[in-house]
Homo-oligomer: A and B are copies of this chain.
Amino acid sequence: MLLADIGNTHCHIFDMNQVEHLTHQEALSKYGNAALWYISVRDGFEAQVAHYPQWRNISNDIFLQGAYDTMGVDRKALCLSADEGIFVDAGSAITVDVVEGGIYQGGFIYPGVRAMLDAYASISDQLHTSLNEVVDLEQLPHTTKDGISYGIIAPIKALIQKHSKGKPLYFTGGDGKFLAHFFQDAIYDDTLVFRGMQRVIKGSKIC
């Protein structure tokens, strides 16, 4: 079974073993003739793959109790990967979603690390810097670079911890591994969205 999570810039494809990150064109060239289930947040993608009869869009089958209408299908699939937890997808944006007993409780959106660094740079040249990836979150910063690095990571960490209340904490996405290491007992897994898709496929017998 092949599963694909179609984003705005990339296709993430899971062969039940590992995840491949491809451009849309690369994905179609390599897997266009394979049987594949996909979800997509990309406008017009379904029309683009109309010529590939073995590609099946299961976005409308992804039902998450309590979710809101405009919530991205990838976020819903991620939240379906376990019945309880805080789900963090850290990419160009960072989404943080809370699920209790299989029911979506709500969530929020934070700019991704790159967008945050660009935001500082847009304010003033003096705030144009790179991330200190090993910034110490236990000490208040004493430099501009650390003040910015801390300002990106510590606020969202404090808020996630406030919501955790003993729930499992799951990370996925391009910056997921990096962010997860700032938390104790965080679980990083780049297959979570696909695990959610698999649960839907098994549960709804759409395969």
Residues of A within 8 A of B (CB): 8, 68, 70, 92-93, 95, 98, 105-112, 115-116, 118-120, 122-124, 126-127, 139-144, 147-148, 150-151, 154-156, 158-159, 161-163
Across the interface, do B112 and A118 meet the contact criterion of CB distance under 8 Å?
A: no
Of the listed residues A92, A116, A122, A151, the one surrounded by the most CB atoms of chain B closer than 10 A to its CB is A151
- Knowing that A109-B120, A109-B151, A159-B159 touch, tell me 4 more A-B residue pairs with CB under 8 angstroms: A112-B123, A115-B123, A119-B119, A158-B162
Task: Return the chain B residue nearest A70 by Cβ.
Answer: B144
Between-chain CB contacts (< 8 Å), 20 pairs = A70-B126, A70-B144, A93-B123, A93-B124, A106-B140, A106-B141, A108-B140, A108-B141, A108-B148, A108-B154, A109-B127, A110-B151, A111-B116, A111-B119, A111-B120, A118-B122, A119-B119, A155-B155, A158-B158, A159-B159
Of B122, B126, B159, which is within 8 A of A154 by CB?
B159
**Whole-angstrom distance between the alpha carbons of A74 and B20 in the complex?**
49
**Which residues of B are found within 8 Å of A154, using beta-carbon distances?**
108, 159
Of B123, B141, B143, B163, which is within 8 A of A111 by CB?
B123
**Which residues of B are found within 8 Å of A141, using beta-carbon distances?**
106-108
Across the interface, do A106 and B139 meet the contact criterion of CB distance under 8 Å?
A: yes
Known: A110-B151, A151-B110. A120 touches B93 (CB 8 A): yes
Across the interface, do A147 and B111 meet the contact criterion of CB distance under 8 Å?
A: no
Task: Return the chain B residue nearest A96 by Cβ.
Answer: B151
**Whole-angstrom distance between the alpha carbons of A113 and B128 in the complex?**
18
**Which residues of B are found within 8 Å of A142, using beta-carbon distances?**
68, 106
Of the listed residues A105, A139, A143, A158, the one surrounded by the most CB atoms of chain B closer than 10 A to its CB is A158
Across the interface, do A147 and B116 meet the contact criterion of CB distance under 8 Å?
A: no
